[in-house]
Structure 1
Amino acid sequence: MAADVRTAPVPTPLTEPYWDAARRGELVLQQCADCARFTHPPAEWCRFCGSERRGFAPVSGVGVVETFSVVHRTFAPGFAGRVPYVIAWVGLDEQPGLRMFGNVLGVPADDVHMGQRVELVFEEIDGFGTVPNFQPAGKERSCGSE
């Protein structure tokens, strides 16, 4: 049986700035140079004003669990040893409607709930670097899949 190795993200020219920042332990999201709204995931143009002038800017990674799923059975490489785990849709504080997916780490799956405040935490993936995830706000910083 093959080792339970997690598949690393495959950056594209559009997502490379996001993944480069993540490997440095920073969360940046695409921001429109014209209307200043954030877009995630990155897009070829601003979904608010249509501008093609975009860059990337740091965000806090603090927000609220808007919805989530507890995965009890997975076929995703590198996640079999983690079940049950939580994948959450997190609304970030920077702007209404700005959301991103991530795992909620550091607590049992039963302790995650909608409306829960979470904050950014980075998880190491062998051969890639770190990827952004979340943990309950105020919890001592962790790294990994506890």
Structure 2
Amino acid sequence: MIDMLAAAAVVLFGLYLLGLGLTVFLRRAVVARFLLAHGRSASAHYLELTLRLVIGGAFVLRAPSMLFAEVFTVFGWVLLVTTAGLFTVPWQWHRRFAQRSVPQALRYLTLLGIASLALGSFVLFAAAHGGT
């Protein structure tokens, strides 16, 4: 059961990246508002961290069944460890960081869209074609 939930989380993450990438090219303003909303409140901060824990754990559990298992194992652990660190940071720091860094990152929105499409495709391909 846990394995199925982890597989679903990995696939949903891949679809999220594809959706984000497509939205960059179809509705740039929507993506800009979405990214600017990160860290706006304590609830948004903790929701983001919870999702990072779920996705990181899902990758750690599913990586052995995916192509490029080592890559996805490391990715999952990086998400888990950095999220644990972020839980020790007050959400207001996250808000200040987002207020400074997101507007700068928005200058590279096209690159973000391309990277999201590529990474989403990579995740879905690796999940669908399992390792040996």
Provide TM-score, normalisation by structure 2: 0.29
More RCO (CA 8 Å, sep 6+): 2
Greater share of strand: 1
Greater share of helix: 2
